[in-house]
Amino acid sequence: MWVEKYRPRSLKSMVNQKDIVERLKSFAEARNIPHCIFAGPPGTGKTTAALCLAHDLYGEAYREHLMELNASDERGINVVRQTVKTFARVRTLGEIPFKILILDEADNMTSDAQQALRRTMERFTGTCRLILIANYSGKIIEPIQSRCAPFRFTYLPREDQDAYLRHISESEKVQLEAEGLNAIYEVCGGDLRRAINTLQAAASLGKPISNEIVYSVIGRANPLDVREMIQLAMNGNFIGARDKLREMIVKYGVAGSDIIRQIHRELFRMRDIPELWKVKLADAVGEIDYRLISGADEEVQLSALLARFIEAGITMRRSG
């Protein structure tokens, strides 16, 4: 897995998140850390930062001083009581007097489990430091938050993600086209885990990575195709729009419900549709989405949606 292969080992090789990395480096130099909360969206380096910090503190054998637990695997109170206690109680042998417990998805813990965790934190502060990882720090109870140093991770900027993906492509000797890189950003935003996984899936086809390949491995239609379909419908070309729709379903293997979501997204990005019409059409998209969820026939409903776009196009032209 490339996400593991290319995961930085040390804080100094982490990309961006500069303030966070600086603060963590100073902990590593001081050979001491407080309890921490790493909060932020997925794929931005939270787990990586925790592992790098441990590596820089303990050296190559850092795994011996570390435990990774996923709070949502067995999110009950018992995990915290048993596993954490057993781990936290035993002193480590090395020069640093504490171990590190990384608790991933801590925001999925029930508040009872968090209360138990808080008591454990108090009892074992001498022998164990916690790094809580969460998407939303707001879901962590206040008594825990107040005992932790907070770190807020943000999505990586486009240029950092692009540079990282280019670097991986070069080392793996895969040809990554500019359009392919665009498509990966379009689909993954700044979620680097998703971006790397998408790159690897696309590379596994053994061809240069184009936007078409990216969209097909991810099971999404090319947004340009979606726009073209909307445009065709609004120009009154029902057959053309329906053919485009079928083509997308076949070519990219997209589910009807996913196309609906993409139509919704592209609708708001199309500059030549007046605001009022976007609102009306968004309402139509919502209605069709609901019908599909309720089990209505996909092909019939998607045609019905195209009909709404055609209707809108006619009325728009009439009113000038």
Count Cβ atoms below 10 Å from residue 197 Cβ, excluding itself.
18
Question: Does position 193 bind ligand ADP by CB under 6 A?
Answer: yes
Nearer residue to Mg ion within complex by CB, 47 or 231: 47
Q: Of these partners, Mg ion, ligand ADP, none, which one is at the site of residue 193 (CB under 5 to 8 Å by kind)?
A: ligand ADP
- Strands across the sheet containing 149-152: 66-70, 99-104, 128-134, 36-39, 149-152
The answer to whether 250 touches 221, Cβ cutoff 8 Å, is: no
Q: Residue 159: which H helix or E strand, with range? A: helix 158-171
Nearer residue to ligand ADP within complex by CB, 70 or 237: 70
Number of residues in contact with ligand ADP under rule CB under 6 A: 19
The answer to whether 131 touches 103, Cβ cutoff 8 Å, is: yes
AA identity, residue 270: M
Residue 38 exposed, middle or buried by CB count within 10 Å (0-12, 13-18, 19+): buried
Nearer residue to ligand ADP within complex by CB, 43 or 180: 43
Question: Does position 8 bind ligand ADP by CB under 6 A?
Answer: yes
Which residues within the stretch 37-96 sit at the binding site for ligand ADP (CB under 6 A)? 42-48
223 half-sphere exposure, CB direction, 13 A CA radius: 16
Shortest Cβ 100–ligand ADP spacing (Å): 15
Q: What secondary structure letter does DSSP report for 82?
A: I
End-to-end CA distance of the chain: 55
Question: Does position 192 bind ligand ADP by CB under 6 A?
Answer: yes
Shortest Cβ 167–Mg ion spacing (Å): 21
Nearer residue to ligand ADP within complex by CB, 16 or 198: 16
Q: Of these partners, Mg ion, ligand ADP, none, which one is at the site of residue 43 (CB under 5 to 8 Å by kind)?
A: ligand ADP
Which residues within the stretch 122-181 sit at the binding site for ligand ADP (CB under 6 A)? 156
The label of the residue with tokens 């931005």 reads 44
Nearer residue to ligand ADP within complex by CB, 24 or 288: 24
Q: What secondary structure letter does DSSP report for 177?
A: -
Residue 300 exposed, middle or buried by CB count within 10 Å (0-12, 13-18, 19+): exposed
Residue 17 exposed, middle or buried by CB count within 10 Å (0-12, 13-18, 19+): buried
Question: Residue 198 and residue 184: Cα distance in Å, rounded?
Answer: 7
User: Residues 16, 47, 114, 197: which binds Mg ion (CB under 5 A)?
Assistant: 47
Question: Does position 3 bind ligand ADP by CB under 6 A?
Answer: yes
Q: Of these partners, Mg ion, ligand ADP, none, which one is at the site of residue 181 (CB under 5 to 8 Å by kind)?
A: none
Give the contact letters, 242-281, x = binds to ligand ADP (CB under 6 A), - = no. Answer: ----------------------------------------
Which residue's C-beta sits nearest to ligand ADP? Answer: 45
Shortest Cβ 39–ligand ADP spacing (Å): 10
Question: Does position 190 bind ligand ADP by CB under 6 A?
Answer: no
In the complex, which residues of this chain contact Mg ion (CB under 5 A)?
A: 47
In the complex, which residues of this chain contact ligand ADP (CB under 6 A)?
A: 3, 6-8, 14-17, 42-48, 156, 192-193, 196
